[in-house]
Amino acid sequence: MPGRRLVLAYSGGLDTSVAIRWLKDQGWDVVAFTVDLGEKKDLDAIQARALKTGASAAYVADGRLPFLQLFVWPSLQAGAVYEKEYPLATALGRPLIAAMMVEVAGREGAQAIAHGCTGKGNDQVRFDVTTAALAPDLQVVAPVREWGMNRDDEIEYAREHGIEVPATVREPYSTDENLWGRSIEAGVLEDPWTEPPKDVYAWTRDPRSCPDEPTYVEVGFKEGIPISLDGKAAGPLEIVTTLNRVGGENGVGRIDHLENRLIGIKSREIYEAPAAVLLLQAHQALEDITLPKEVARFKDLVGQQWAQMVYDGLWFSPLRDALYAFVAETQRHVTGDVRLKLYRGSSHVVGRKGPQQLYQHALATYGKGDQFDQSAAAGFIKLWGMGVRTATQVQGQLHDRDLGKLLGDVKRLTP
């Protein structure tokens, strides 16, 4: 394919540095693209390395704010947690990166995009499907799926071709991080019976070395979106970075998850996500006090579907548009404040309030000011139980159980 151009998702690491030269050997003109989603990358150094390695051009972008506003916040509103554990940090970042690559491909007149994902992971699906959704005519090239090299082969390839890479020593783990979380896998973690070693964690303290006194944090929301910390207005970046720091200092946000990958493999993943854990917990508490019962119960199902959709790489799909229409409607009254208590690896909601909360003291209290009409309860219960009463009267016992055996040890006492 001589003379053809593609945009490569370039991290600056071994895989994608080798990929630049390998793709050039396949006849591609390579444009490198790097986006910062909160990894604290040296973008200038990465851009320079891409050009030195053989890219004809190198783009860098700060995607942190759009990542939070366009991908993380809607997922927070949805209450999306994959398999009750994973806050979807990497899964939320990939469609944004792919969408930005499609835009760069248009600017550069490229015919394809490329990424460094393996054939065993979920990210390949997220890149490929996002590209198909946004630019169906673009080709997707995945060198790691094609070249048949292992890491040692790549290191040798880099040496032979004079490719500068930041390190050639095998790291004990494979990691990925952005503002919403850090993921760690491989190495000893591939044994699900093995407790994660201390060196796995970088963002969170061991609970045993956390402060002796609890830390309190107050988060303010408007229509399901975080807008303040401890009573002071704050933007998305400040809120997430602060909660990552405070949560990590208190050992909050460690997750050990045996998850089902999209391609059918079970994988053991370790996550650190202090801000995500705290904000999801606070958001749920505010929904508990503002959403009607039926809406809250159905929204749980929508949240599960949203998480599955994100994990499966279907962010840019009619399903997401339809689900968000429901989610946005549910968030109209999710405004208020939540107080969290952080202590040695745990976090608990200890206070919640909102201007449109459905909790009413006059109905809930057993003390003075009780306005609940208890006399109405008997009629309500009679109607509520009419179905089971009628079934028993007409059809007999609903369950084939010997109640006599269950009650056999009950003794009757007389004075």
Q: What is the pLDDT of residues 351-407, one digit of tens each?
A: 999 999 999 988 888 888 888 888 899 999 999 999 988 888 888 766 655 666 666
Which of 107, 151, 174, 346 is the catalytic position? 174
Instruction: Tell me how far CA of residue 351 lies from CA of 45, 76, 299, 345, 412, in angstroms.
Output: 46, 19, 22, 19, 46
| Tally of domains within the chain | 3
Q: What is the DSSP letter of 195?
A: P
Residues 375 and 348 in one domain: no
- The residue annotated as part of the active site, out of 123, 182, 183, 267, is 123
Q: Are residues 145 and 26 in the same domain?
A: yes
CA distance 59 to 44: 10
Average of per-residue pLDDT values in the chain: 91
Instruction: Quote the CA–CA distance of 77 and 47 in Å, as a whole number.
Output: 35
Higher-scoring residue by pLDDT: 407, 321: 321
Instruction: Report pLDDT for 237.
Output: 97
pLDDT band at 170 (very low <50, low <70, confident <90, very high): low
Domain membership of residue 400 (yes or no) is yes
Which CATH number fits the domain that encloses residue 29?
3.40.50.620
Query: How confident is the model over 326-360, as pLDDT tens digits?
Result: 999 999 999 999 999 999 999 999 999 999 999 99
Q: How far apart are CA 35 and CA 398, in angstroms?
A: 62
Q: Name the residue range of residue 150's domain.
A: 4-63+88-160
The per-residue pLDDT for 1 is 44
219 and 235 belong to one structural domain: yes
Domain identity same for 336 and 398? no
Per the annotation, the verdict on 267 as an active-site residue is no
Same domain, residue pair 290 and 305: yes
211 and 266 part of one domain: yes
Residue 119 lies in a domain: yes
Confirm whether 191 is a catalytic residue: no
Q: Kindly report each contact of residues 292-296 with a partner whose C-beta sits within 8 Å and lies 24 or more positions away, as own/partner.
A: 292/358, 295/330
Active site residue 15: yes
Output the DSSP codes for 30-67: EEEEEEESSS---HHHHHHHHHHHT-SEEEEEE-HHHI
**Whether residue 276 sits in one domain with residue 228:** yes
Residue 166 lies in a domain: no
Q: Is the same domain home to 142 and 35?
A: yes
Instruction: Say if residue 156's pLDDT is above 90.
Output: no
Judge whether 411 lies within some domain: no
Same domain, 272 and 247: yes
Last residue of a domain, one of 120, 137, 160: 160
Residue 306 maps to a domain: yes
**Residue 62 appears among annotated catalytic residues:** no
What pTM was estimated for this model as a whole? 0.91
322 and 194: one domain?
Answer: yes
* Total residues found in the chain within this entry: 415
Q: Is residue 81 included in any domain, yes or no? A: no
Closest among 252, 262, 366, 380 to 310, alpha carbons compared = 262
In sequence order, which residues have a C-beta less than 8 Å from that of residue 365 and are 6 or more positions away? none
| From 21, 64, 94, 320, the catalytic residue | 94
